[in-house]
Structure 1
Amino acid sequence: MDKSMQSHREYVFAQHKRCCTIANHLHHVCDAGIRQGIWEQAERVRRQKTWVQNDNFLVVPGTNFMMCVLPKCGSSSWHWLTRDLREPLSAGHQFGWQDRQKNTQIMQDLSPDDGAKLMSNENAFRGISVRHPFSKLVSGWNQKLARELTYASFLLEAYPHMQEYADDTDKLHVLTFENMAEYIAAYGHDVDNLDYHFLPMEYLCQPCLYPYNYVIKIESMGNDQNWLTHELNVERMPWQEKGPGYFNANQTNPVNILRTYFKNVKRETILKLMDIYYYDFVLFGYTFDVDTLTPGGLV
């Protein structure tokens, strides 16, 4: 065997093994949680055999593909891939809102029988795309609370308590990041006070109830692309269209980013945030050192 080919196969195997290790960690923690009564075993068994629709799912029944897609966790790329799996895109195709809408409609129209097969098929790809909870928080704040967006005004109107934390300190955002952190720390234990983009990943995808067999961390997606193209039998992943290293280049060092944004957040506020997003940390192997402001579990 050619040495370069052997090296490539070994690399792909290592990527596959890492994703499986993360999934095994998830299953281990979920098993412990079920024994403690945090999640119900009966409901877990039911969702392994029947189709319980989740609005965050993307599905392509013909290729045995299902992905729970979360905001600020590469959702656009997964929608693009789903479109490509059901109908291969031509090079340079501009993915549009119609494609995204069609993806959602296909999931909503999936029959109970086809959904049940997708849940129980041992060969199906049932994944969940995740991100460090605090990186996800920073990204959501930066994009959804920008003053130039009407969405920011919507948030202030939809969540009245958020207005208490708004001021003119940050010229680019309606809330400073520190004030956004304070708001979530104060009111985030009630999901009714959180916009969709700030809800816990565990709440949206319910990883201890659905039979996911792959966990994809956004921090390592650029490195996982060779394995993913092999596993999903596609020629390329969405971000590869934009050139070599695109995804990694857009994942600027998360350690430095989080240290920058959290350096002015009160320690007690950070601890409250870690409590609100507790299951996201524990289930997916993420950590955060409140003394050094260092995130862990990124790969």
Structure 2
Amino acid sequence: MTPSGNNASHWSKVMASRRQRIKYVCSQHRDSLRRFLNHNRLLFDTRNHLAYCRNAKAGTTSWLSLLLTWAGMNVQDMDPEEIHAAAKEIFPSLGPKEAAAEMNFPAFTFTAVRHPFTRLVSAYKDKMAENYRKDVQESIISKYRVNNTILSKMHTTDQNKLKQISKLTEFSWENIVSMQKKYSFFRSLKNSDSTSKVYSDLSIPTFREFALYVSDQILTCGFLVNSACLEAVDVHWQPFFNRCAPCDIKYKAIVKVETFSEDQQHIQQLMGIPDPPQSPENCTINKHTSSGPSTDSLTKLYFSQMTPWERMRVYLAYYYDFQLFGYSPDDIVLL
């Protein structure tokens, strides 16, 4: 379906608003968010002059399916692994000179993002709970499991941890307390220890344990200009701002998992890409889903199993992603 003129105008305004927001946040946190331009992070479709920066667990398989379809490939019977392999073959890496030339064409640059909390839950479902490295799983359980229960017993311990974090980052303790009061997400979700109902196999980390592990891993980096520390974080939960450098690459569109269908229609129309011979409903664009409860339904449940101060640790770990892309912790309350 081709978007109407009014819808196209509205979408363009939304994209302009997102770009303006990024520009403002980058100006406020330049030392923390500056990254070096790395064309290796961009996938170039030189036929349609598209440049796409992939963020894991933000619709990557869906977008690769779509890009391959626009390039004339039938992806109807391909599984996710085959789609990723085909993308490497059809869209090979460009050298610095070729990439710069394509960017100057100019290519239509875009990246895809997702609510940081639902993304983390998706990463937990698809990676940590599915045969992730056993040595890492055992280390997480050893460090974060408290008497085989999912909830911490001492809020004081949580606060002391956050005070330590405030010394590593630009967040003062006063800032942290203020944010805790600002969002109902930290107050309205009731703590519920339903470990036995949610987790059938306690030999793997619970979501709480996984989320604290990820948060501490990110926050320990201290958001330094040198991003080498964050580069060591698994790509499936590495912050968006570190991988796709929105403060250094001027993306023409910031698309979102939450509006995938609308975004892909507008990009297709804007770039003059004809409809593919196979109908969209027969492509694998929306087939890459995990079994079991939906990610949205699990997000509120999983975060209710964390104390307010533990939730704050996760929020701080992804603070810049929230700010750059216009998400709020309170979005989860509305799920």
State the TM bucket, normalised to the shorter chain.
0.7 to 0.9
The equivalent residue for 1:38 is 32
2:295 paired with 1:266 = no
Q: Distance in 1 between matches of 2:295 and 2:212?
A: 24
Check the 8 A contact 1:259/1:294 in 2, yes or no.
yes
2:16 paired with 1:20 = yes
Match of 2:53 among 62, 68, 72: 68
Q: Distance in 1 between matches of 2:16 and 2:73?
A: 29
Q: Distance in 2 between matches of 1:237 and 1:273?
A: 44
> Counterparts of 1:78-117 in structure 2 under 5 Å?
78-86=63-71, 88-90=72-74, 92-94=76-78, 97-104=81-88, 109-117=93-101
> Counterparts of 1:89-238 in structure 2 under 5 Å?
89-90=73-74, 92-94=76-78, 97-104=81-88, 109-122=93-106, 124-146=107-129, 149-150=130-131, 152=132, 154=133, 156-158=134-136, 161-164=139-142, 165=144, 169=196, 170-171=199-200, 174-190=204-220, 191=230, 194-232=233-271, 233-235=273-275
The equivalent residue for 1:282 is 323
What do residues 46-81 of structure 1 show as CA deviations (whole Å, max 9, x unaligned)?
A: x4xxxx3334x2211232111111111110012112
Structure 1 portions without partners, runs of 5+: none
**SS at the partner of 2:40?**
coil
Q: Distance in 1 between matches of 2:295 and 2:85?
A: 33
After superposing the two structures, state which structure 1 stretch, 233-242 or 126-135, moved more.
233-242
**SS at the partner of 1:195?**
coil
Kindly state the Cα deviation for residue 8 of structure 1 after the two structures are TM-superposed: 2.2
Letter in 1 for 2:319: Y
Q: Distance in 2 between matches of 1:192 and 1:18?
A: 30
**SS at the partner of 2:254?**
strand
Identity level (%): 21
Match of 2:333 among 283, 290, 294: 294
Check the 8 A contact 2:50/2:109 in 1, yes or no.
yes
After superposing the two structures, state which structure 1 stretch, 193-202 or 261-270, moved more.
193-202
Check the 8 A contact 2:23/2:247 in 1, yes or no.
yes
2:40 paired with 1:54 = yes
After superposing the two structures, state which structure 1 stretch, 72-81 or 9-18, moved more.
9-18
Change (3 A) 1:159 1:82: same
RCO higher in structure (CA 8 A, sep ≥6): 2
Letter in 1 for 2:265: N
Kindly state the Cα deviation for residue 118 of structure 1 after the two structures are TM-superposed: 2.6
Kindly state the Cα deviation for residue 265 of structure 1 after the two structures are TM-superposed: 1.1
Q: Distance in 2 between matches of 1:279 and 1:238?
A: 39
> Counterparts of 1:246-257 in structure 2 under 5 Å?
254=296, 257=298
What is the total number of aligned residue pairs between the two structures? 269
What do residues 123-156 of structure 1 show as CA deviations (whole Å, max 9, x unaligned)?
A: x21001000100100111111122xx33x2x1x3
Kindly state the Cα deviation for residue 95 of structure 1 after the two structures are TM-superposed: 5.5
CA RMSD of aligned residues (A): 3.6
Q: Distance in 2 between matches of 1:182 and 1:25?
A: 29
After superposing the two structures, state which structure 1 stretch, 110-119 or 163-172, moved more.
163-172
Q: Distance in 1 between matches of 2:278 and 2:29?
A: 35
**SS at the partner of 2:281?**
helix
Q: Distance in 1 between matches of 2:324 and 2:333?
A: 19
Q: Distance in 2 between matches of 1:98 and 1:79?
A: 11
Letter in 1 for 2:32: I
Q: Distance in 1 between matches of 2:85 and 2:286?
A: 25
Query: TM-score if structure 2 supplies the norm length?
Result: 0.68
What do residues 267-291 of structure 1 show as CA deviations (whole Å, max 9, x unaligned)?
A: 11111111111111111111113xx
**SS at the partner of 1:230?**
helix
Kindly state the Cα deviation for residue 116 of structure 1 after the two structures are TM-superposed: 0.5
